[in-house]
Amino acid sequence: MAANSPGPFEVLRRWKRHQIRVPVRLVVHRGDLTSRVNGRGTELNEGGMCVFAGVELNNADQVELEFTTPYSPEPLRVWAKVRNRYGYYYGLEFLTENAGEREQVERFREVLRSATGNA
């Protein structure tokens, strides 16, 4: 395979992936118990992101994904669903059921892009 040619899965993807390295936090709700797990965002695209986190999640689990910017004390939060898993790497799909959630996800992506130089 040539150095600049896409990998076998790149042709099948809906959106281009951007390599990132940002600290994130997963908020996992299980019944009355809520846990917060630090992780690292490793890839970002229009529909979601890949996160490495030391937590046991299953496909279809829903979590809150947080990113704290250096200039804001309040983290940005979006809902996401686990779509796939490889070890402790999780493919998360952003959930956008209404206009407010779509705006929040777009703001989340924009802040992550600018924080990582993928603007």
The domain that holds 53 is classified in CATH as: 2.40.10.220
pLDDT of residue 36: 96
Output the CA angle 107-109-110, nearest 5 degrees: 65
Is residue 4 assigned to a domain? no
Is residue 10 assigned to a domain? no
pLDDT of residue 98: 87
Is residue 69 assigned to a domain? yes
**CA distance to 57, 84, 93, per residue, from 114 (Å):** 29, 26, 20
| pTM for the predicted model, two decimal places | 0.80
Q: What are phi and psi of 56, to 5 degrees?
A: -90, 110
User: Is the separation of the CB atoms in 44 and 112 below 8 Å?
Assistant: yes
Structure tokens at 9: 């899965």
Is residue 7 assigned to a domain? no
Domain housing 90: 15-116
pLDDT means over runs of 10, the chain (119 residues): 52 71 93 95 90 96 89 86 96 90 83 70
- Number of domains within the chain: 1
Is residue 62 assigned to a domain? yes
Is residue 6 assigned to a domain? no
